[in-house]
Structures are given as structure tokens and as C-alpha cells.
């Protein structure tokens, strides 16, 4: 069996373009899907996939680790967000091909099922674009949280803090404390709450002030309380607060995650399989985390193929904890698929048994939403004095 071509299908989902990767083989009807979506870098990722194609076309798609080495070692330059996403999308598609060729789901190839369902969490109103609620109106925000939980979830991730610089104004911290407490009172103790800081605080003291305000409601974790990459600072912060921390969506290599594990900087790591090397990179990262006693909560606010990939990974990963999903981003999320495995049952995804990833993109339907410039919500991230904030 040989790889004959690599194609991309780009689908505009308003705030991002989903980049679906299709790897074709010389076996009639046998192909694989992957997803290489990277917010606001669509053209760059698509070009990187074109650059990688000559390294794998003509090769045996069943030799996945060999092909990952070809894509990473022949390239000379270390992988970053763009090239890492391109490699990830192609790598995922290879697993899809292998599972289909052998007639088994990908989770079977990863060592087999270690759990019976995959607990998931969603965002406010399932991340539906245009349906979000600001943090200023506590009552309206709580109404939206309650509405989200009633959609069938036992866990939800919320944005609870404002754009933040090096300081944390007392009035903003007190408002955050009131908001967090109101949310907890509304949903009760049976619902897990996470909050994503998006790396907004620019100092450990600012991050600590907001964490201390939220900690009394016992969140499952606080995500990216500071910008990623400064692992010693994250470890320092972890020792100064009484709340589990999480990071990893903007880390790409096992070496980066090894530093996080060695310093015990967080309680949970959040690799994104669309950026960190697909299943191959994700498995290495999960093993590193397991050795350090850390849970894995994969990042995924993207399209349906990314969801299918995460589902297969979670089924076979012993230290998996909970999976992010955003299946409500657009109303036609499921419609672009002719086969769709993300079945929500009591706040969890069911384990699929179809060969490969269990997902197929309906390319005719997907073509109704062609590439166009995304709407970029980060453009609103500006401090009162005009300085650019971390979104």
C-alpha cells in the first residue's frame, strides 16, 4: 500500500477555519482523515501540509512512526505551532487508514479500551458563536451556565476574569469572587467547574489574586493562569495557591511537557492532538504525565475530526480525566459529517466501534462553508489605556 496524495478541505466556522486533512492511498476507497486546525493561521498550515506532502507520498501509510520521523527529522527546523499542526493532521489520518485497513477502531491499535465512556466538558452554551454572555451581569451569566448544564453536562469551563495586566484591581477581584460563588450556588456541588485564564495575568501576583478569589468554589482546575512557556514561574505559582492548575494547549513537544512534569508545575496537562504530533506525540506526553502523577485533559475547541481523534485517544489513555469539546460552535457542526461518532450520553461520549476514527467528512456539504477570513475575537483584547492585552 502507498500514499498517493494529501488533500485539505477547509471549512469556515466563523471564528476559525477547520483544516481537514485527507490522505489518499492506492487502495480503492481507502483514505484517512485528520484535522490540523490552528486559529488564524489557516493559510500557513495549508502551506505547511503542501511542504510535507513530498516526504510521505509514495510511502507505506502503515509505518506511522517512520513517517512521523520523515516529516520531523528531514525538516531540520524544530516544530512550532504551524508545522506541528500540519504534521499532526497527516499523522492522525495515517491512524485512520490503519484502523480501516485492519477493520478496528484506532483505540484498539493504541492498546485497547481502558474505560467505558469518555467524560466531557463544554463551554458556555456549548460555545455557540454569538450566544455568549459577559461576566458583568452575574445573574445573566448564571442563567447561561444553568442552561448549559441542563443540556446534559456535568462539567463546564467558563471565562471568569477580565483582561488583566500586571495588577489585579481590587474591584475586579471582588467581582470575580462574587461571580464564582454565584455560579457555584446556581449549579451545586455535583457539577465540576473549570475556568480558563487564557494567560491573561502578566504577573504571578495578579494571577494569584484571581485564583484566590475563585479557589473557594473548588474548581476542578484553573487553566493557563499565566502565559505558557515559563514553567519555573508556573511551578512557583502552583506552590503559592490552593487550587489545581492546568496547562498544555500551547506546548508542543514531549520535552516541554517533561519540564512541566519534572517541576510539578500543574496538576493536569492539556495536550492538543491537532498540534502536538497527533496520537504519536499525545501518547508520549500522556506517559510523561502518568510518571509524574498528572492527569491528562486534552484541549479541543475545534472541528468534528479533532473531536473524533480525541475520543479515540481518551478511550485508550489510562490517566485521561476529562475531554474538552465545542460541538455547539456552529449549528451545522454534525451536518458536514456522513459518519459521526461523538454521541453524548449523560455527560460523556460513548465508545465507538467503527474502524479507524469512525468519522467521514461529507465533502459536498463541507463545500457549502468554504474558506474565508475568520472573525478574530482576540481583536477586542485591549486594556483601557489602549495597550494590547493577552486574549
Q: Find, among 149, 142, 187, 195, the residue nearest to 346 by Cα.
A: 149
Q: Which run of H or of E encompasses 222? A: strand 221-223
Side-chain half-sphere exposure of 364, counting CA atoms within 13 A: 1
Longest dimension (CA), the chain: 64
Report the distance separating Cα 82 and Cα 38, nearest Å: 7
- Grid cell 500522556 is found at 286
Distances (CA, A) of 283 to 110, 289, 291, 317, 349: 9, 10, 12, 8, 20
Q: Is 390 marked active-site?
A: no
Active site residue 383: no
φ, ψ at 120 (rounded to 5°): -125, 160
Query: Measured between alpha carbons, how far apart are the two ends of the chain, in Å?
Result: 45
Q: Residue 71: in which H helix or E strand, if any?
A: helix 64-73
Q: What CA–CA distance (Å, rounded) separates 347 from 119? A: 6
Q: Which of the following is catalytic: 31, 198, 275, 383?
A: 198
Taking alpha carbons only, the member of 91, 89, 48 closest to residue 69 is 91
Q: Percentages helix, strand, coil for the chain, rounded to the nearest 5?
A: 40, 15, 45
Considering the candidates 123, 175, 275, 299, report the single residue annotated as catalytic.
299
Q: CA-to-CA distance for 299 and 288, rounded, in angstroms?
A: 17
Phi, psi angles (nearest 5°) of residue 8? -120, 145
The residue length of the chain stands at 391
Which residues are bridge partners to 360 per DSSP? 339
Q: Which helix (H) or strand (E) holds 339?
A: strand 337-339
Measured distance CA(144)–CA(138) in Å, rounded: 10
Positions marked active-site: 198, 299
Amino acid at each position: 500500500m502507498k500514499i498517493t496524495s494529501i488533500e485539505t478541505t477547509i471549512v469556515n466556522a466563523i471564528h476559525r477555519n477547520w483544516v481537514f486533512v485527507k490522505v489518499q492511498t492506492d487502495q480503492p476507497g481507502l483514505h484517512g482523515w485528520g484535522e490540523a486546525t490552528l486559529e488564524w493561521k489557516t493559510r500557513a498550515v495549508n502551506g505547511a501540509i503542501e511542504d510535507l506532502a513530498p516526504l510521505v507520498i509514495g510511502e507505506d501509510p502503515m509505518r506511522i512512526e517512520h513517517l512521523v520521523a520523515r516529516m520531523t527529522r528531514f525538516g531540520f527546523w524544530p516544530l512550532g505551532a504551524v508545522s506541528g499542526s500540519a504534521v499532526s493532521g497527516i499523522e492522525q489520518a495515517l491512524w485512520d487508514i490503519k484502523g480501516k485497513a485492519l477493520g478496528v477502531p484506532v483505540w484498539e491499535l493504541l492498546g485497547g479500551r481502558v474505560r467505558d465512556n469518555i467524560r466531557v466538558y463544554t463551554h458556555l452554551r456549548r460555545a455557540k458563536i454569538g450566544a455568549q454572555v459577559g461576566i458583568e451581569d452575574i445573574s445573566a451569566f448564571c442563567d447561561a451556565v444553568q442552561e448549559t448544564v441542563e443540556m446534559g453536562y456535568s462539567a463546564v469551563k467558563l471565562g471568569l476574569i477580565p483582561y488583566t495586566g500586571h495588577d489585579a484591581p481590587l474591584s475586579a477581584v471582588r467581582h470575580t469572587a462574587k461571580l464564582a460563588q454565584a455560579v457555584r450556588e446556581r449549579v451545586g456541588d455535583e457539577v465540576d467547574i473549570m475556568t480558563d485564564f487564557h494567560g491573561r495575568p502578566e504577573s504571578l501576583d495578579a494571577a494569584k489574586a484571581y485564583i484566590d478569589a475563585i479557589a473557594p468554589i473548588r474548581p476542578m482546575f484553573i487553566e493557563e493562569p499565566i502565559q505558557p512557556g515559563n514553567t519555573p514561574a508556573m511551578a512557583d505559582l502552583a506552590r503559592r495557591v490552593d487550587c489545581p492548575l492546568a496547562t498544555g494547549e500551547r506546548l508542543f513537544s514531549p520535552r516541554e511537557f517533561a519540564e512541566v512534569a519534572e517541576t510539578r508545575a500543574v496538576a493536569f496537562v492539556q495536550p492538543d492532538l491537532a498540534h502536538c504530533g497527533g496520537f504519536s506525540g499525545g501518547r508520549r506526553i500522556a506517559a510523561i504525565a502518568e510518571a509524574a502523577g498528572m492527569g491528562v485533559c486534552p484541549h479541543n475547541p475545534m472541528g468534528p475530526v479533532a473531536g473524533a481523534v480525541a475520543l479515540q485517544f481518551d478511550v485508550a489513555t489510562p490517566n485521561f480525566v476529562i475531554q474538552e469539546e465545542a460541538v455547539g460552535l456552529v449549528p451545522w457542526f454534525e451536518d458536514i459529517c456522513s459518519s459521526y461518532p461523538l454521541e453524548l450520553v449523560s455527560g460523556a461520549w460513548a465508545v465507538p466501534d467503527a474502524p479507524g476514527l469512525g468519522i467521514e467528512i461529507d465533502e459536498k456539504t463541507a463545500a457549502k462553508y468554504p474558506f474565508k477570513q475568520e472573525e478574530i475575537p482576540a481583536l477586542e483584547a485591549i486594556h483601557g489605556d489602549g495597550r494590547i492585552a493577552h486574549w
